[in-house]
Structure formats: C-alpha cells, structure tokens
Amino acid sequence: MKAQQTKDTVISSHPLSSSADDNRIMSVKHSVIRKDIQPFVLWLAWLLALTLTIDYLLHYTQTLWVEQYMGIFGTCLIVLSFSYSLRKKKIITFGKIKTFLRAHEYLAWTGALMVLAHGGIHFNAILPWAAAAAMLVAVISGLVGKYLLKQSTDTLSKRKDELAKSGLSSEEIEKKIFWEALAVNAMKKWKSVHKPITIIFAASAALHILIIFLFWRWN
C-alpha cells in the first residue's frame, strides 16, 4: 500500500503529469471562439456564398425574372417567421414556443437567402441596398441572440469549471478567459440592435415593395 502511494506521488509530481494538465487546459483555451464563433462565421459565409451561387446561376441560365418572385416569396417567409413573436406574446395560443422558435429560425434563414438572391450583386438603387443590408444585420443579430450567445455562454461556463478543477485561482481564471468573456459581452451588446434594426428593415422593405408594386408591369 505504501509502495503504491509512493508511486502515485512520483507520477503526480512528474513533469509529464504537469504537461498533461497544461495540455488539457490548452485544449479548452479559446473554446468559445473555436467551438461557437468560428462555425457561426463560417455559416454566414456559406449563406453569402450560396446567395452568390444562386445569383450566378440565374445570370448563367438567363432566368433573372425568377429573382422578382424570390423577393416576394422570401419576404412572405420572413413575415411568417414573426409568428414566433406572436406566440411568445401569447397572441397565438396554440403550439409549443420551441416549435415556433425553430420555425422562426428556418423561415427567417430561407427568407433571407431568397431576398439576398433577389437583390443579387447588381443593386442599382439605394433602397434595395438599405433593405438588404438591414435584413442581413437583422438576421445576424437575431441569430447572435437566439443561438450564438446562449451557446457561447454555456461554453464559457464549462471552461470556467474546467479551469477551476485544474486548481487555478479565481484571478488566474479571469485572466485566462478574458478574451472569451469579452467576446460574450460584445455579443450581449450586439443582441440589443436586433429589434431596432428589424424595424428599419421592415420599413425599408415595405417602401421597396410599395414602389415595386406601383411600377410593376402588370401587363
């Protein structure tokens, strides 16, 4: 028994044991950035890349007329996604809130893709630029609030627990998670722009739609 205790003491004090602990700590370093923020940025890049691909295919096949209807259909999907807000405020009383939230995310994402493809890369007026830019910011801020912030907060909490278990003091933990905590705080502030930017998007989109219908070639 004494020999086993001596062996354990030697192993725990061996430099390789300390190195293993350091590697375990390093494995979770910047986990918020690597686990949550980087995939989120790649997801947005994929959205924009898909938009450009659709725009290119429409130009290549000379079916740009489809863009007009994609704008209408995409806008309808975005409007339909606001049913989540109605459910959350209990204006709609049926269905689970989680179901409405999931539908809100998918409808808003698909609608955003269609509206961006509708605008294409050749905007020729300020209003479409404003509507598309406001919509993109609204989608990003909404996703930051509903997905990225929650995920990053959970990851940061787990990282604190890992560092605490490694024997670090509170001050040392705060130093190690400084940049991650800063990123999470920035996301909390970014979330606050979601509602006002959504209102701006709705107003600019409504004006754009009104102008389109006024000058639509109904023949």
DSSP 218: -
The pLDDT assigned to 32 comes to 61
Does 161 have pLDDT greater than 60?
Answer: yes
In a domain, 1, yes or no: no
d(CA 38, CA 183): 12
Among the listed ranges 65-74, 118-127, 180-189, which one has the minimum average pLDDT value? Answer: 118-127
- Asked if 113 and 50 count as a contact pair (C-beta separation under 8 A), the reply is yes
The angle that helices 65-81 and 38-60 make with each other, rounded to 10 degrees, is 150
The pLDDT assigned to 14 comes to 39
How much is the CA Rg of the chain, to the nearest whole Å? 25
d(CA 53, CA 83): 30
DSSP 35: I
In a domain, 111, yes or no: yes
- The dihedral region occupied by 169, where left means phi > 0, alpha psi between -120 and 50, and beta the remainder, is beta
The pLDDT assigned to 131 comes to 66
Q: What percent of the chain stands above pLDDT 90?
A: 0
Torsion of CA 10, 12, 18, 24, to 10 degrees: 150
How confident is residue 29, by pLDDT bands cut at 50, 70 and 90? very low
What would you measure as the largest C-alpha separation in the chain, in angstroms? 96
In a domain, 15, yes or no: no
In a domain, 46, yes or no: yes
In a domain, 207, yes or no: yes
The pLDDT assigned to 6 comes to 44
In a domain, 219, yes or no: no
Most confident range, picked from 46-55, 140-149, 158-167: 46-55
In a domain, 23, yes or no: no
Q: What percent of the chain stands above pLDDT 70?
A: 61
For range 77-101, the mean pLDDT? 85
The pLDDT assigned to 104 comes to 82
Domain encompassing residue 166: 31-214
The pLDDT assigned to 89 comes to 82
Does 10 have pLDDT greater than 60?
Answer: no
Does 13 have pLDDT greater than 60?
Answer: no
pTM: 0.54
Structural domain tally of the chain? 1
In a domain, 24, yes or no: no
Distances (CA, A) of 102 to 10, 37, 61, 112: 53, 20, 34, 15
